[in-house]
Structure 1
Amino acid sequence: MSWTEVVRIPADVEQPDKIVWGFTARQAAILAATGAILYLGYSYLGERIPLTAFAVIALPVTVLGILLAVGTHDGVSLDRFLLAALRHTRSPKYLVSALDNVPPPPAWMAADPGQLPAPLKLPTRSVAGDGLVDLGPDGVVAVAEVSTVSFALRTPDEQDGLVAAFGRWLNSLSGPVQILVRAERVDLTTTIATLKESAPQLPHPALAYAAREHATFLTELATRHELLRRQVLLVIREPRVGASGSSAAKARAYRRLDEAARLLGACGLTVRLLDGTAVTALLASCFDPMAPPLPADELALPNEVITRGGRR
């Protein structure tokens, strides 16, 4: 005779475990600390003030402890949200790109400089030629561009197949992954110039006329509208462990990227690893997404001094 026990597994596998009376360890600790504060307060003030006055004092403390224990804000526990808000309030708001602390102005300056800026600590240390981003102690990151498919134009059976293939990839994940969908400006200058240059070389006058008309259409389209294109990026991060953690993290990132390309290929998606130049341009565009891309020769190298007139 076999006996089977049915166990309910929450959909959120990252949900903390319930320790006592349906509360997590964090919630139980907050409630216990609240009870200890009330007990100590009653031990000290119980014989010195009336019970009604102590109840008036204890009520806000009790309500605050309960709110900190069970309250949430946008899916974040209230105590963690308040700590994050406190860190944000105390953190400097003016940040500049510097390796060390920003030195104060010279003493001979009579003007009040105000609050000094603080160094901007970006997680990215460097971008290798193969496109991997070095995050220092946080590991390495591989960034790949993923093509798209039209889900609405597929039949129900094809849609079920796409969902199943995508689900297999999600179930195979063994580390942090980010899917980033961003919009970037489209520059048709090169396309228009290519059409105008190749039009006289076409074998038939009708083709040349069509190429010039299409170049004119693209010129008017770029003039009247702000053209954008959607870019889907797959970001895979691998932590650095041990003395040889950098090379091992890179090997794991490449292996996970190859696995993603193989499993997502069943959905008709193409995964292409971005090289060092493409990743550098991508990171630069994140600071000003609507600005046109900078030429490669205008990007400053690490530790290169940037002056008002140009690089030095």
Structure 2
Amino acid sequence: MFGLHKSTKKASARQQIAIQGVQDGVLELPGRRYRMIVSVSAVNFELRSEEEQDVIIDTYESFLNSISWPIQILVRTRKITMNAYLAELHAQQQTETVPMYQEQLQRYRVFIRSLIANNTIMTRRFYIVIPYQPTEKVDDSFIREQLLLRADILAKGMARLGMRTYPLDSLAVLELFYSFYSPIQAKTQPLTEQALRMIHQTLVQKEKVS
């Protein structure tokens, strides 16, 4: 993803994942290459009729043919841990004063435990990566403007498919990279907003110096 690779040589995480900086949701890669990552909602294709599926396919094909720049589609599948949710249900049950509601919460907790014991609960998120590489020296505001224009074109194209788009801000971009580069640690030790802001500030400062 975006030149994401691990090196056998000792290097900083920033060097290994080839991030030059992240500012205002714009990701800078080596070689003056820029990216904007957009989260895209899903459409349940399998539940649509055959006619509706054909319309979706034709509309999507038409959108791809209408843009003059490539896009990268990223599907992020992750296993969900339900421990926090079960703990929240248990806390609700302990504070509930109505016996009938207590019993309902208990039954629901048992159901959830049975569900996760026999099934792996997964979440799937979809992203589209928008590229931009200037052919001459331009300022950061112009680069972001060009990416936002492309993001707007993408949003209109996805809206025709019944899908919504949300450009990721700088903190969300860093969190996404963290989940890829340290998947196990991301589950057990998710980054706090304060930690993300510190990382973001470090990248911004290094970008200004370089």
For residues 207-255 of structure 1, the C-alpha deviation after alignment (integer angstroms, 9 at most, x for no partner) is: 4433332233334544665532222111111113433243222111111
2:148 aligned partner: 254
SS at match of 1:187: coil
- SS at structure 2 position matched to 1:96: coil
The aligned residue for residue 19 of structure 2 is: 124
| 1:289 matched to 2:204 | no
Q: Show structure 2 runs of 5+ residues with no match.
A: 1-6, 204-210
| SS of corresponding position for 2:183 | coil
Indicate yes or no: 2:126 matched with 1:211: no
Which consecutive residues of structure 1, in runs of 5 or more, have no partner in the other structure? 1-91, 100-119, 304-312
Cα deviation code 1:15-72 (max 9, x no counterpart): xxxxxxxxxxxxxxxxxxxxxxxxxxxxxxxxxxxxxxxxxxxxxxxxxxxxxxxxxx
Indicate conservation of the 8 Å contact 1:181/1:232, yes or no: yes
**Where do 1:1-312 residues align within 5 Å?**
93-97=8-12, 120-128=15-23, 130-199=24-93, 205-222=99-116, 226-291=120-185, 292=187, 294-296=190-192, 297-298=194-195, 301=199, 302=202
Deviations 1:170-209 (A, max 9, x none): 1122223100112123132333233334456779754443
Spell out, residue by residue over 1:105-134, the C-alpha distance to the aligned partner (whole angstroms, 9 max, x if none): xxxxxxxxxxxxxxx453311222x32212
Which of 1 and 2 has greater Rg? 1
Q: TM-score normalised to the size of structure 2?
A: 0.75
Distance 1:215 1:278 in 2: 32
Cα RMSD after superposing both structures: 3.0
User: Partners of 2:44 and 2:68 in 1: how far apart?
Assistant: 28
**Greater alpha carbon shift after TM alignment, 278-287 vs 148-157:** 148-157
TM-score (norm 1): 0.53
3-state secondary structure, aligned to 1:254: helix
> Does the residue aligned with 1:233 lie in a helix, a strand or coil?
strand
Q: List 4+ stretches of structure 1 deviating above 6 A.
A: 200-204
Compare relative contact order (CA 8 Å, sep 6+) and give the higher one, 1 or 2: 2
Measure the CA separation in 1 of the matches of 2:92 and 2:63: 44
Aligned identity (percent) is 24
